[in-house]
Amino acid sequence: MRLAEAWRVAFDSLRTNRLRSGLTMLGVVIGVAAVVVLVAIGTGAKREVERQVEGLGSNLLIVVPGRVDFGSAPAVSRLSLSDVDAVTRIVGDRSRVAVSVTSGETVRAGAAARFTSVLGVLETTPSVFVRALSRGAYLTRSDVDTGRRVAVLGSAVARSLFGERDPIGQQVSIAGVRFRVVGVFAPLGQSLGVNRDDEVHIPVTTAHRLFGTQRVDGIAVKAPDRGQISQLGARIVDELSSRHPDTEFSAVTQEQILGVLGDILGVLTGVLAAIAGISLLVGGVGVSNIMLVSVHERTREIGLRKAVGARPRDIGVQFLLEAVLLTTLGGTTGMALGVGGALLVAALSPVPAAVTWWSLTLAFGVSAAVGIVFGVVPAQRAGRLDPVEALRSE
């Protein structure tokens, strides 16, 4: 029998049992759609995180005390401004070094109040990280050197304290101390689960007085180019270790952060795909079941076809194609539904679903493979039927 003819026979048989074929396909449709949507969500989440990490700035090196490792408690910082000066000497450029010391404080303006993160920083922050201002100006070196009580507000803080009014030049009180607003950040949105619009920057020297500490939590360095990052990191860690022999220091690069997060999200995507894959498998079992029913129902037809000259292979191919047709039609529908579902998720929820070609190819390939795998047993059974017994069956 010609292959085209076999396809036609398979298609006709599905068409004559529309409802049954449709319901059987539904299992595959749901499985494939689930694979496409869930992989799209996983991929979208991963891309979003990458975008955010890269959005921090480029060629960044974060130096923190302690070991950066999962399961280890954050170490208490022993870093001080003299350590920052030592790091600056290694880097050779003050504008490439940023620090921060953070404390949660209540910020008030008139009757309005907001509890937010207050960061003591150097004036170099915008040259190390990507931070744009929407109004006013950032802190200056003299602000830092003289410990002025000036503040730059995050866009969310500015909005909740001043509404639509211009906060520049206005007074705010932080932990009961009056500050003058000199700038407002442009909205940045969420980054790695932190709302970066909900913070206030003040000079690190002022922060030390306010918080009653001499420490800084961490030092960020922007390397001149990518190739120098690891070498620079090692030199900084060496220097800090010699200054604090009893403390361990770590230098973390963006690539390392991306690598760790990417691994986590990759696992997450894999788990999602596996769950969806199980539903696809269940759909495949449904196909197998229906094909066995179909073989049983059409036993006489098989007997007749054999009597008029169909070889076992002809019969087997006919039923196999029927199964493959079921799953590929279901797979195609599932792909369309999955793409539609992913677009819908991306449009209606904050989850940035991204449909990938590999997930489409995989889902379609798997559904076709499911048809073959789950069609083989019924097809073989059909092909091996004894024609005499088959013709005799009711």
Partner 1 sequence: MTGSSRSAIEAVGVTRVYELDGVSVHALRGVSLSVAVGDFLAIVGPSGSGKSTLMHVMGGLDRATSGRLVIGGRDVAGLRPPEMARLRNETIGFVFQAFHLLPRTSAVDNVALPLVYRGLNARTRRARATEMLERVGLSHRLRHRPSQLSGGEQQRVAIARALVTSPSVLLADEPTGNLDTVTGQAVLALLQSLNESVGVAVVLVTHDRDVAARAHRQIVMRDGMIVPTTEGTGSAIVESAPSGAPGPSADDGPWRPIPHSGSPP
Smallest separation (angstroms) from partner 1 to the CB of 25: 20
Among 312, 336, 351, 381, binds partner 1 (CB under 8 A): 312
Structure tokens at 254: 């963006």
- Taking the complex as a whole, how short is the minimal distance between the CB of residue 383 and partner 1, in angstroms? 9
In the chain, DSSP assigns E strands to 60-65, 97-109, 112-121, 133-136, 150-153, 171-174, 177-185, 190-191, 194-195, 199-203, 218-222, 249-253
Are the CB atoms for 201 and 125 separated by under 8 Å? yes
State phi, psi for 354 to the nearest 5 degrees.
-125, 115
6-25 positions binding partner 1, by CB under 8 A: 16
Interface residue with partner 1, options 303, 334, 341, 378 (CB under 8 A)? 303
Let me know how many helices (H) and strands (E) the chain has, helices first: 13, 12
φ, ψ (nearest 5 deg) of residue 307: -60, -35
209 or 392: CB nearest partner 1: 392
Q: Tell me the residue length of the chain.
A: 394
Q: Judged by CB under 8 A, does residue 297 bind partner 1?
A: no
What CA–CA distance (Å, rounded) separates 379 from 373? 10
Distance CA 346, CA 37 (A): 10
Regarding 301 and contact with partner 1 (CB under 8 A), the answer is: yes
Q: Are 262 and 11 in contact (CB under 8 A)?
A: no
Work out which of 172, 305, 326, 329 binds partner 1, going by CB under 8 A: 305
CB-nearer residue toward partner 1: 12 or 145: 12
Stretch near partner 1 under the rule CB under 8 A, chosen from 60-68, 208-216, 252-260, 382-390: 382-390
| 313 forms part of the interface with partner 1 (CB under 8 A) | yes
- Please, what is the minimum distance in Å from the beta carbon of residue 19 to partner 1? 15
Work out whether 388 is an interface residue with partner 1 (CB under 8 A).
yes
Q: Of the listed pieces 29-37, 274-282, 298-306, 339-347, which binds partner 1 according to CB under 8 A?
A: 298-306
Strand-pairing partners, residue 102, are 119
Closest distance to partner 1 from the beta carbon of 301 (Å): 6
CB of 313 to partner 1, least distance (A): 7
Contact residues for partner 1, defined by CB under 8 A: 1-2, 5, 16, 300-301, 303-314, 386-388, 391
